[in-house]
Amino acid sequence: MAGLTTRPDAGAPDLLRPAGRHSGARCVALGLAGTAATGAGLLLPAALGRALDTLLAGGPATGWVLCCAALVLLTAVLDAAETVLTGTVDARTTAWLRRRVSERMLALGPRAATRFGSGELVARIVGNAAEAGTAPGARAALLAACAGPLGGVVALALIDFRLTAVLLVGAPVLALLLRSLARDTAECATDYQRAQGRIASALAEAVAGHRTIAAAGTADREAARVLRPLPELARAGHRMWRVQGRAAGRAVAVAPLLQLGVVAVAGVLLARHRLSVGEVLAAARYAVLASGVGVLVGRLSGLVRARAAAGRLAEVLARPAPAHGTRPLPPGPGRLRMRGVTARLGDRTVLDGVDLDVPGGTTLAVVGRSGTGKSLLAALAGRLADPDAGEVLLDGVPLRDLTHPELRSAVAYAFERPALLGTTVEDTLALGLSSPGPDRIREAARTARADGFVRRLPRGYATPVADAPLSGGEAQRLGLARAFAHGGRLLILDDALSSLDTVTEQQITRALTARRRTTRLVVAHRAATAARADAVAWLDGGRLRAVAGHAELWRDPEYRAVFGDGGRA
C-alpha cells in the first residue's frame, strides 16, 4: 500500500521520544510508582519469612506482621497511583500525537488524502494514535515490570548464591522467548492495523457515495467490498493471539521447572541447616517473581503494538509539508503569473509546462474538459498545492517565498462543496478572519445572495450550522460569502457557482466583475460564466491551449464542445 515503509515500526522512535517528553514528569512518576510497588512486593517475602522464623522461635512477631500489613497497603496505594498515572499519560500522549498528525495532514492538504486515502488517515489518527499513545506508559511500566524478575534474582543471591545459579540456567530460554515474541507481535500488529486501514478507506468511500449506492441498488455489493479485508483482519488478530498464547505457554512450561528447582535446592539447604524455614518461604516467593515473565509478556506485547501504531503515524509525519518563506507582499494589483508549471498526481502529469499571466484586477475563467487539471491549477494558484516544476508568482513574489499569514490573507477560496466549519452560520462566514465585524459579514452575505435565506433561518446568523437546513446552492453561497468576507487581492472560485441557478449566478458574477481591486480566477463550466470574464484560459490535455476572450474562442467548434449542450461541460 502506498506510504508504507519496510519495517513495521520504522520512524516510531523519532516520534515516541518527543511524545514521551510531552508527559515526561508523569512518565517518571509512573516509573517510580511502578518500581516502588515492585520494591514493596520484593520486601514482602522477606518480611513474611522473618515473621515466620520469629514465630517458630517463640518470639513476638507483631512488628513483622505490622510491617507485612504496611507493605501490602503501600503496594495497593502505589498500584492505584500507577493506574491513574497510566490513564493520564496515555490520554495526554494520544492527544499530542493526534494534534501533530492533524497539523501535518492539514499542512499537506489534498495530497495527504491522495497519498494515503481519507479513510486510512482517519484510521491512523483515531485508532493508531490511541494505540501509539500507550507507548510512554507501557515503556515506564515495562521498566517497573523488569524490576520484579531482576529483584527476585538479587534477593535469591542474598539468601544463597546456589539458588540464583539454578534460576539462571533457564534465563537464556526466557530471553529468546521474549525476543521472538517482540518480533512476531510487531509483524502481526502491523498486518492487523493495515487491514483496519483498508476497511476504513473503503467505508469512507462508501459513505461519501451513499446516494449513488442507493440509486444503483448495490448496497450489498458495497458492504461486501468494505468488509473484504475482514478475513485478513481476522487472520492477523488470531495470529497475534496465537503468538502471545504460545509465548505464555512456553513461559508456563519453563517457569514452574525453574521454581521447582529453586525450591528443591532450598529444601536441601534447609535439611542441611543452611537456610531457615522463613528463608525457604521467601526463596519460593522470589523464585516465582524471578521466573514470572507473564507480566513481561503482556507489557512487551503492548509496547510492540504501540510502536507499530507509531510507525504508521510516522509515515504521515515523514511526508514533507510545504515550507513558507519570510517575504511580505509588496503593494500591487494582484497580478498572478505561472511560469513553466508542471504538476503530477501520482505518476500522471496533469499540468505540463503551463505559462499563464493574469493581470491584476481582471477576471480569468478557466475552462476545459473533465480531467484537464482545472482544479489543480486553481489549487496551485493559491498554493494549496505546489508544482513539481516551475513557479507561481503573485505581484512578482513566488508564493513559496511568502510567509504563511501573508499568503493566506492575500488569497481567498470558494469551492464547489464548501466545508461549513464553525458553530454558527456567522462563525462559518468569519472563518480565518482575525477581526470579523458583523457589518463585513453581512455585506459579504448580501454579495453572495445569501443574506435573505440566512435571515429566514430560526436564529438568523446565530443559527447553529448543524441545525441549518441548507440546499447545495445555499451551502455554496455561504462558501462564496466567506470568500468575499475574506477579501485579499486574489479570489479563486473552484467550480463554486455550479449549484446556483442561472439568475443567481448572473447576479454573483456581476458582483464579482465589479471587484476591480481583486483578481478573480474562476473555474467555469457554463458558457455564460466564461462569457462574462475578461479572458478565458482553455486547458486541453494538461496544456494551455489558448488564452483569449470567450467570443473569439467561441468560433472554434472544439471550444464550443467543451461546454456541450446547454452551455455546460
pLDDT at 247: 67
pLDDT at 125: 85
Q: Based on the domain organization, do 304 and 347 belong to the same domain?
A: no
506, three cell numbers = 448572473
Pick from 263, 290, 317: which residue ends a domain? 317
Q: Based on the domain organization, do 303 and 344 belong to the same domain?
A: no
- Check pLDDT > 80 for residue 264: yes
Can you tell me the mean pLDDT for 404-408?
88
- Check pLDDT > 70 for residue 223: yes
Cα(31)–Cα(27) distance, rounded to whole angstroms?
6
Q: Based on the domain organization, do 293 and 350 belong to the same domain?
A: no
Per residue in 514-527, pLDDT (tens digit) is 666 789 999 988 88
- Check pLDDT > 70 for residue 99: yes
- Check pLDDT > 50 for residue 285: yes
Q: Which of 516, 518, 522 is CA-nearest to residue 535? A: 522
Q: In this structure, is residue 330 part of a structural domain? A: no
Q: How confident is the model at residue 10 (pLDDT cuts 50, 70, 90)?
A: low
Q: What is the residue type of 176?
A: L
Q: In angstroms, how far is CA 536 from the centroid of its own chain?
A: 40
Q: How confident is the model at residue 6 (pLDDT cuts 50, 70, 90)?
A: very low
Q: How confident is the model at residue 559 (pLDDT cuts 50, 70, 90)?
A: very high
Cβ proximity of 430 and 441 under 8 Å = yes
The shares of helix, strand and coil residues in the chain, as percent rounded to the nearest 5, are 65, 10, 25
Better-scored residue on pLDDT, 439 or 381: 381
Backbone φ, ψ for residue 514 (5° rounding): -80, -10
Q: Based on the domain organization, do 350 and 408 belong to the same domain?
A: yes
Q: Based on the domain organization, do 301 and 383 belong to the same domain?
A: no
Q: Based on the domain organization, do 304 and 433 belong to the same domain?
A: no
Q: Which of 365, 417, 415 is CA-nearest to residue 523? A: 365
In sequence order, the 6+-apart residues with CB closer than 8 A to the CB of 386 are: 322, 380, 400
Q: In this structure, is residue 164 part of a structural domain? A: yes
Q: Based on the domain organization, do 286 and 431 belong to the same domain?
A: no
Which has the minimum average pLDDT: 162-171, 249-258, 316-325?
249-258
106, three cell numbers = 492539514
SS3 sequence of 546-562? EEECHHHHCCCHHHHHH
Q: How confident is the model at residue 393 (pLDDT cuts 50, 70, 90)?
A: very high
Q: How confident is the model at residue 229 (pLDDT cuts 50, 70, 90)?
A: confident
Helix (H) or strand (E) holding 357: strand 348-358
Pick from 257, 282, 317: which residue ends a domain? 317
Q: Based on the domain organization, do 307 and 407 belong to the same domain?
A: no
Per residue in 128-153, pLDDT (tens digit) is 888 888 888 888 888 777 888 888 88
Q: In this structure, is residue 323 part of a structural domain? A: no
Q: Based on the domain organization, do 506 and 373 belong to the same domain?
A: yes
Cβ proximity of 543 and 352 under 8 Å = yes
102, three cell numbers = 492533524
Can you tell me the mean pLDDT for 24-47?
89
- Check pLDDT > 80 for residue 3: no
- Check pLDDT > 60 for residue 266: yes
Q: In this structure, is residue 152 part of a structural domain? A: yes
355, three cell numbers = 505559462
- Check pLDDT > 80 for residue 117: no
- For residues 396-424, one letter each, b for 16 or more C-beta atoms within 10 angstroms of the residue's C-beta and e for the rest, the string is ebebbbbeeebbbbbbbbbbbebebeeeb
Helix segments in 382-501, DSSP class H: 404-410, 425-429, 438-447, 451-455, 472-486
Q: In this structure, is residue 459 part of a structural domain? A: yes
Better-scored residue on pLDDT, 507 or 406: 406
Can you tell me the mean pLDDT for 243-265?
74
Strand order in the sheet with 397-398: 348-358, 336-345, 389-394, 397-398
Q: How confident is the model at residue 568 (pLDDT cuts 50, 70, 90)?
A: very low
Per residue in 424-433, pLDDT (tens digit) is 888 888 887 7
Q: In this structure, is residue 324 part of a structural domain? A: no
Q: In this structure, is residue 223 part of a structural domain? A: yes
Three-class DSSP category at 99: helix
Pick from 287, 317, 347: which residue ends a domain? 317
Q: Based on the domain organization, do 212 and 269 belong to the same domain?
A: yes
pTM: 0.72
Q: How confident is the model at residue 250 (pLDDT cuts 50, 70, 90)?
A: low
- Check pLDDT > 90 for residue 397: yes
Three-class DSSP category at 438: helix
Helix (H) or strand (E) holding 26: helix 24-56
SS3 sequence of 133-176? CCHHHHHHHHHHHHHHHHHHHHHHHHHCHHHHHHHHCCHHHHHH
10 Å CB burial of residue 561 (0-12, 13-18, 19+) is exposed
pLDDT at 196: 81
Work out how many domains the chain is built from and give that number.
2
Cβ proximity of 355 and 339 under 8 Å = yes
% of the chain surpassing 90 pLDDT: 19
> For residue 470, what are the CA distances in angstroms to 273, 450, 479?
89, 11, 12
pLDDT at 366: 94
Can you give the residue range of the structural domain that contains 301? 12-317
pLDDT at 174: 67
pLDDT at 569: 38
CATH code, domain carrying 121: 1.20.1560.10
CATH code, domain carrying 527: 3.40.50.300
Q: Based on the domain organization, do 361 and 310 belong to the same domain?
A: no
Q: In this structure, is residue 250 part of a structural domain? A: yes
Mean pLDDT score of the chain, rounded to an integer? 83
Q: Based on the domain organization, do 22 and 134 belong to the same domain?
A: yes
Can you tell me the mean pLDDT for 415-430?
84
Cα(4)–Cα(569) distance, rounded to whole angstroms?
38
Q: How confident is the model at residue 401 (pLDDT cuts 50, 70, 90)?
A: very high
